[in-house]
Amino acid sequence: MKIAGQRWQKIQEQSFYRATARERAAGVADDGTFRELLGPPDKICSPHLPLLGEVAQFDDGMVTGIGLLGTRPVFIISMEGTFLGGGIGEVNGAKMTAAIRLACYTCDAIREKYDGQVPEDKRPVLVISFDTGGVRLHEANAGLLAHADIIDAIQDARGKVPMLSLCGSRLGAFGGMGFVIMATDVVIMNEQGRIGLTGPEVIEEEVGRDEFDASDRALVWRTTGAKHRYIMGDCDYLVADRVSAFREKVLAVAAFPLARILRMRKTGSAQLVKREQELVALSVKEKIKDSTDFWRYFGNDQAENIPEMELERFLQTVKRRPEAK
């Protein structure tokens, strides 16, 4: 289904947090350019779910496709958290892997066309919109293998296709997808976005409520939420909760030279591993008990006010973790 004209304009003003996977995908690309690959008419759905008494969905909870960002082809992967918690299984994981590899194939084809060089204004861009709790437990090992294939494809895309992650939907990016989002080049979030590995309830169950109280919503948000991720450097850009705000930032970042985008990565080198080890050592040395302790350490004197701070004032005044030297 083509989304263009007034409908596309209406999506631009929608809340990114409340938008569906298909709306987010079409809204990031230029007006009317997004074309879905393996959409509902193709009826590519999980063969495992009916055997487990679950109702399958014809897109398996993931929208993949291609559009344009000006002169650049953009490959878009958008997850639907309302279907089985956005869980990654065999089929939707394969769709995600295929989209990443198709972006790489397109980049190689452009390089061949232009005598071994990829013009910056024609370099393909990969955009992933996260809305997932991680692996789909219904599919167990198939879901875990899908995560491995996705990471493998991301590694192949490094230094070739800029990979931009969007995190601002209901579920954020958790479980194995917490690893995946941190393996991309750039992370863009709204205030509603969250990134983590193990869910709060699981942490409480394993180590006790004294260590982490999953019912304390304020604690959960200031630990996994976008403002904390921005201060710590896990999130590169924090934007307003509108589809248009995410699109504008994607357009701006996509125009950066590839070398600049690659310098924004958070994983993938011994230097970056050392940087995270230094953070662990710092947390022990300073006896960090809460994210607000980190905020104060990095120079935010009124750290307790940060969760309630308006976005514009936050971006103007907040002090972030220093960049690696």
pLDDT tens profile 176-208: 999 999 999 999 999 999 999 887 887 888 888
The reported pLDDT for the residue numbered 210 is: 78
| Phi, psi values for residue 3, rounded to 5° | -110, 110
CA distance 287 to 60: 44
With 90 as the cut, is the pLDDT of residue 52 above it?
Answer: no
201 in a structural domain: no
State pLDDT tens for residues 108-129: 999 999 999 999 999 999 999 9
The reported pLDDT for the residue numbered 180 is: 96
With 80 as the cut, is the pLDDT of residue 243 above it?
Answer: yes
307 in a structural domain: no
The reported pLDDT for the residue numbered 73 is: 98
170: confidence class by pLDDT, cuts 50, 70, 90: very high
314 in a structural domain: no
With 50 as the cut, is the pLDDT of residue 325 above it?
Answer: no
- How many C-beta neighbours within 10 Å does residue 1 have? 11
DSSP H helices, the chain, are 5-12, 21-28, 90-113, 140-157, 176-183, 200-207, 217-224, 226-232, 243-254, 258-262, 270-285, 291-297, 311-317
Total of domains in the chain: 1
With 80 as the cut, is the pLDDT of residue 324 above it?
Answer: no
154 in a structural domain: yes
132 in a structural domain: yes
- Cα Dmax for the chain: 61
Question: Model pTM?
Answer: 0.95
State pLDDT tens for residues 91-113: 999 999 999 999 999 999 999 99
State pLDDT tens for residues 246-303: 999 999 999 999 999 999 999 988 999 999 999 999 999 999 999 999 999 999 999 9
179 in a structural domain: yes
321 in a structural domain: no
- Say which residue, 199 or 136, is predicted with more confidence: 136
Domain interval for residue 253: 5-195+234-268
Report the CATH number at residue 108: 3.90.226.10
Give the rounded percent of residues in the chain with a pLDDT score beyond 90: 83
| Phi, psi values for residue 51, rounded to 5° | -70, -25
Say whether 165 sits in a helix, a strand or coil.
strand
Q: Which of 60-64, 69-73, 135-139, 226-230 has the lowest mean pLDDT?
A: 135-139
100 in a structural domain: yes
CA distance 276 to 147: 23
